[in-house]
Every structure is written in C-alpha cells, then in structure tokens.
Structure 1
Amino acid sequence: MRKLLASALALVMIAALCGYGFWTQQRPEGHYLSDLRIELALNQGSPGERGNLLGIEPLLYPSDYQNLQRLRLKLAAYLEQAREQGLVNPRTVVVLPEHIGTWLWARGEKNELYQVTQRREAEQWLELSNPLRYGLAMLWATGDDRRADAHLRMKAAQMAADYQALFSGLAKEFGVTLVAGSIVLPAPYVENGVLHAGSGPLFNSSLVFAGDGSVLGQPQRQQFADSEVRRYIQDGREQPLHVVSTPAGRLGVLIGSDSWYPENYQQLAQQSAQLIANPVFLSGKHSWDAPWRGNRHQDAAAELPLQRGQVSEQQAWRQLTLAANPGLTSISVFMRGQFWELGADGQGFANHAGGQLAGTSQHGARLLNVWL
C-alpha cells in the first residue's frame, strides 16, 4: 500500500512539474494599442551644413516592451514624424533617454506581467515564468540588492542582442547617428562590432550607432551611479569617458547625473568634444517640480553648488548642467511614461552658445531639436 501511495505521489509531482514547465514556455500576446503622436517642443536655429541634435522623449509603457517589433514601431513612428518636419538628415545626432534599453528585461513575458499595477508583482511573474534562469542568475548576482541584479543578469544576453538589433536598425533605416539611451548589463563590451554581456558587475551603459548601423566605440559607462540604483549598479569610473566622431562633430555621452560634474566635461573637452548627449531617467510622477533629491551617496556630490532640497529637480538639473558645461553644445533628454507604479518625469533642455534652451511644456511624447 505504501509503495502504491509513493508511486502515485511521485506521478502527481512529475505531472505537476511537467505542467509547470509547459506553463513557463507559454507566451501569448495581448492586444496592443499605443499613441504614436509626438509634439515638437523645441526647435532652435536654422538648418545648415553642420547638422543638428535631435532629442526624442518617448512616452513608453510596459506593453511597449512585450515584443521588439512593438517598440521599434513606436520609435520609428517618432523618427518618421521628425523626418516629415525636416529634422532628419545624414548629419543628425538622435538622442534617446536613459534606461530605454534596460526595460528590455520585460520583453517576451506573459501577459500578466504587463497587466499588473505594481512592479513588485511584475518581478514575481518574471521569476515564476523563468525559474531556471532566475535561479542561476541569483548564484552569480552581486551587490547589495542581489534580486534586482538577478532580474537583469538572467536576460542579459537577450537584452544585449535586442538592444543592438533595435537601435542599429533604426540608425540605419533613418541614416542618422543614434545615441541609444542606456541599458544595464553585466560588464558590457563590443567585440567585432557586436555588443556582448560579460560576467562582471552591472553597469549602466550607452552605445552610439552610426548611420550605417555600425557601433561607434565601446559602451560608455555611467561614471556616478544614481542613489536609487547604487545597490546593484556599479560606478563606471574605472573606464574613463571617451569621444566618438560623428558627421555633426565629436560627441561625448554623459548618462544621467554624470552631467552635473565639471570633471566629466573636462575629460571630454580634453578629447576635443564638441557635442554632449545626456540621456536621463527621472523616476517618480510629478518629481520634476519636487525638491531635488541629489546624490548623497557620491563623494563628488558634496562639491556641487547646491544642497539636497534647496531647489526643485527642474532647477537643479538646469543649473548644474549649465554651470558644469564649459561651453559645449549639449542636450538632456528624459524618459516619459509609466512603468507599473513607477512614473517617469522631466522635460528636456539644451545648452547652446553659452545659454540654455527649454522647450514648451507638454504631457505626451516630445521632440527637441537644436540646429548646430
């Protein structure tokens, strides 16, 4: 009798495991509707031979990341509207916001992940749907928040391939230089023109793609990790800032709050940089007008001319980037949209000819253009 019960229990467990394994492989896709409109919030100067800096502030949601074609469709629609307005040419440098590639961890998951309202619930669906990958990633995870590390590490190879396919394809399709925001990957590197995820700590990095779709240089790592992600993202100062040549001039990339620090601009100026792209992600709905949170975990922040809470986020970003910049033309581009309960805020601006240019305030997706 005991042997019979044990055999029956074993069969039930095997059936349950097989059913769970089959369930994890199912990835049905739900209906998709998205607003593809974008407004021109800033258009400074006149078309000329030097080209232009074109910032795109997309309005994105988790469902946009369910498959790569959806995200490509939305970003291509924005670029097509910019082209129709005469803002795209072979000397155009397009700048996308910070972490636009990081959210690729959500690509190809179950419908429930996109339908829940809390990021914590979405992460639980991610773990349940990918038990083996998540378990292995936890073994290799580092930092103080090993769970957050594992969520990114477990899909790093797929994310790197998706990131390059998407943004290389857009750069080639529209014939522009494209600063592809940023993506968080373990020790990323480019070898033979292909982006790879390594096996070291996580870094917030950006790639620049040429008009033929090729990669320009190595991934640019964020030098000073922001307070909100420092528990699992490593500072990138072991690899200094670098400059790449584009048809519009020599270009440097400062990710997020790296644009606050004068020493970063000095590094780029020493390499004859002419243009600065600053992709930004500012978390929190209505945070643009909230007190500036600063970066109390960075020693370099103590030397900044502002104190936490002294001014709003809007005032701090504009004052610090203008004060630190030695006169290079720069554009700061913010993510917009909602990722579960995590909102994104901010309105892009540019520094040009010693002054600052701010676009009109709008709620949807925005284009910011500066003719050089």
Structure 2
Amino acid sequence: MRKFLLLSLLALLLAAVTGYGVWTQQRSSGHYLSDLRIRLAVNQGVAGAHGNLLGLQPELFPNDYQSPARLRRKLAAYLQQARGLGLLNEKTIVVLPEHIGTWLLLRDEKDELYQALDQQEAMNWLMFGNPLKLLGALFNAKGRSFLEDARLRMKARTMAEDYQALFGGLAKEFGVTLVAGSIVLPDPSVEQGTLKIGKGALYNVSLVFAADGHPLGQPQRKLYPTFDERGYIKGGGRQELTAVQTPAGKLGVLIGTDSWYPDNYSKLDELGVSLIAVAASLPGQNSWDKPWRGFKNAATPAEISLRPGELGEGEAWHRLTLISRAPASQSTAGISVFLHGQFWNQRYSGQSFISQDGRSIAARDGSDRGARLLNLWLP
C-alpha cells in the first residue's frame, strides 16, 4: 500500500512539473488595439537648413511590449505622423524617453502578466513564467535589491538585441538620428557595431543611432542613479560623459536626473556639445505637480541651494535643467522628453519641454494623457 501511495505521489508530482513546464512555454499574442494618435504640442522656430530636435513623448502600456513588432508599429505610426507634418529630415534628431527600452523585458509573456491588477502581481507572473532564466539571473545578481536585479537581468540578452533592432531600424527607416531613450542592461558595450551585454552590474544606459541604423559611440550610462534605483542600478563610476557627432551638431545625452547636476554641463561644454538630449521618466500619478523631494542621491551638488518642498516637481525640473543657460551651459539648445503611460497601477507623469536661450518651452495644456510631439527648429 505504501509503495502504491509513493508511486501515486511521484506520478502526481511528475504530472504537475510537466504541466508547469508546458505552461511556461505557452505564449499568447492576442489581439490588441493600440491608440496610434499623437499631437504636435510645441513647434518652436522656423524650418531651415540646420535641422531640428524632435521629442517624441509616447503613451505606452504593458501590451505594447508584448512583441517588438507591436511596439515598433506604434512608434513608427508616431514618426509617420511627424513626417506628414514635415518634421523629419536628414538633420532631425529624434529623442525618446528614459526606460522606453527597459520595458522590453515584457516581451512574449503570459496573458496573466498583462492582465495583472498591479505591478507587483505582474512581476510575480514574470518570474513564475521564466523559472530557468530567473534561476540563472539570481546566480549573477549584483545589486542590494537582489530580486529586482535578477528580474531585470534574466532577459538581458534578448532585450539588448530587441533594443538595437527596434530603434536602429526606426532610425534607418525614417532617415533620422535617434536617441533611443534608455534601457537597463548588465555592463553593456558596443562591439563591432553590435550592442553586447556583460556579466557585471546593471546600468541605465542610452544609445544613439545614426540614420543608417548603426550605433554612434558607446552607451551613455546614467551617472547618478536616484535613491530608489541605487539598490540595483550602478552609477557611471569612472565613465565620463561622451558626445556624438550628428548632422545637426555635436550631441550630448543626459539620463533622467543627471540633468540636474551643474558639473555635467561643464563636462559637455569641454566636449564642445551644442545640443543636449535628456531622456527622463517620472513615476507616480500627478507627481509633476507634487512638492519636489530633493536629489534623492548622496551626490547632492554643493552649489544647489534649492530645498525639498520649496517648489513643485515640475518647477524643479525646469530650474535644475541648465541647458543653454550661460555661463552654466554653452549649448545652443536641448530637449527633455518624459515617458508617459500606465503600467498596471503605476502611472508615469512628467511634462516634456524644450530648452533654448536660457528658457523652457512646454506644452500649454499640461495634460499627462496622450502622446505628444515637441519640435524645435535649430537656428
């Protein structure tokens, strides 16, 4: 009798493991109707021969990342509308927001993930649906937030391939220079024109693609991760800011709150940068209108006298972003582009704005809903 019960339990266990294995391999690509509309919120200056900075503030949701083809369709629709408005040419620099590439980790997941009620439930489904990848990532995790590190690391190779194929492909298709927002990857680098990952710490990086689809230079790391990020994302360390040559001029890229640090502008001045792209994101419903919480980083610049709560979050971004504000920055112009959308219970806010002649130019409606284009014609 005991032998029979033992065999029965083993059979049930084998059936359960087999069923779980089959379930993890099943991936759905169900129908999803995405809103492809985008509105031109700011069109500053007069079209000329010197090109333009074009900020693309998308509105994205988890289902947009179910496949790279689906995300490409949405972003291409936005760019097609920009082309129809006469905003794309061989000297156009298109700027996308922070973490637009990070969410590529949602590719080919179970329906339960996309239908989750909150982000924590979705991340649980992500891990439950990829047990072997998660196990391998746990062995290589470096950050203090061990599980968060592993989740971001476990699909890194595919994410890097998708990031280059997607954004390099869009740059080539539309014949523009494209600042591909940012993506979190382990110790990434460009080798012989291909974005590769390493085995080291996670970095939040941005890559610029030329109009031929090839990357320009090495990935630019975020130098000063915020307090919330430091548990799993490493700062830039010894890596300095870099510049890339584009048809519209020499370009520097700052990721998120790196745009708050005066020293970064001095470094870009030394590189002869004339244009600055800021890829940003701000999680939290209505965070743009809430009191500013400070630098949220141990490396608070001594020359900044602004205190937490003294201004609203949006006002602080405008004050601390020093693009084209002499003598702090000798750049000609720049643009700050924020991620928008809803990822389960997490809403992204933040209002994209243009920087020129020491002043900021933002959309007038102040809404955090819908996709936006912000265009600056370069003099």
How does the TM-score come out when normalised to structure 1? 0.97
Partner deviation per Cα, 1:14-50 (whole Å, 9 max, x = no partner): 1211111000000012220111111111111111111
The question of 1:356 aligning with 2:360 is answered yes
Equivalents in 2 of 1:64, 1:175: separation in Å? 24
State the partner residue of 2:113.
113
Equivalents in 1 of 2:252, 2:371: separation in Å? 25
State the partner residue of 2:346.
342
State the partner residue of 2:73.
73
Equivalents in 2 of 1:365, 1:109: separation in Å? 25
Equivalents in 2 of 1:339, 1:24: separation in Å? 22
Code of the residue aligned with 2:350 in structure 1: it is G
State the partner residue of 1:331.
335
State the partner residue of 1:293.
293
Partner deviation per Cα, 1:132-187 (whole Å, 9 max, x = no partner): 11112112112221111010100000100010110001000000000000000010
The question of 1:48 aligning with 2:52 is answered no
Counterpart mapping for 1:1-372 below 5 A: 1-322=1-322, 324-361=328-365, 362=367, 363-372=369-378
Q: Which SS does the other structure have where 1:300 is aligned?
A: coil
Runs of 5+ unmatched residues, structure 2: none
Partner deviation per Cα, 1:34-77 (whole Å, 9 max, x = no partner): 11111111111111111000000000000100111110011001
Partner deviation per Cα, 1:315-349 (whole Å, 9 max, x = no partner): 00001113653443110001111111111011111
Equivalents in 2 of 1:330, 1:305: separation in Å? 24
Equivalents in 1 of 2:86, 2:332: separation in Å? 24
Does the Cα contact within 8 Å between 1:327 and 1:354 map onto a contact in 2? Answer: no
Equivalents in 2 of 1:19, 1:199: separation in Å? 32
Q: Which SS does the other structure have where 1:90 is aligned?
A: coil
Equivalents in 1 of 2:294, 2:163: separation in Å? 29
Code of the residue aligned with 2:48 in structure 1: it is G
Runs of 5+ unmatched residues, structure 1: none
Q: Which SS does the other structure have where 2:233 is aligned?
A: coil
Code of the residue aligned with 1:209 in structure 2: it is F
Q: Which SS does the other structure have where 1:357 is aligned?
A: strand
Does the Cα contact within 8 Å between 2:292 and 2:310 map onto a contact in 1? Answer: yes
Does the Cα contact within 8 Å between 1:294 and 1:301 map onto a contact in 2? Answer: no
Query: What is the aligned-residue identity percentage?
Result: 56
Code of the residue aligned with 1:341 in structure 2: it is N
1:2 deviates by: 2.5
Q: Which SS does the other structure have where 1:254 is aligned?
A: strand
Does the Cα contact within 8 Å between 2:184 and 2:205 map onto a contact in 1? Answer: yes
Equivalents in 2 of 1:266, 1:216: separation in Å? 22
Does the Cα contact within 8 Å between 1:327 and 1:353 map onto a contact in 2? Answer: no
1:302 deviates by: 5.0
RMSD: 1.2
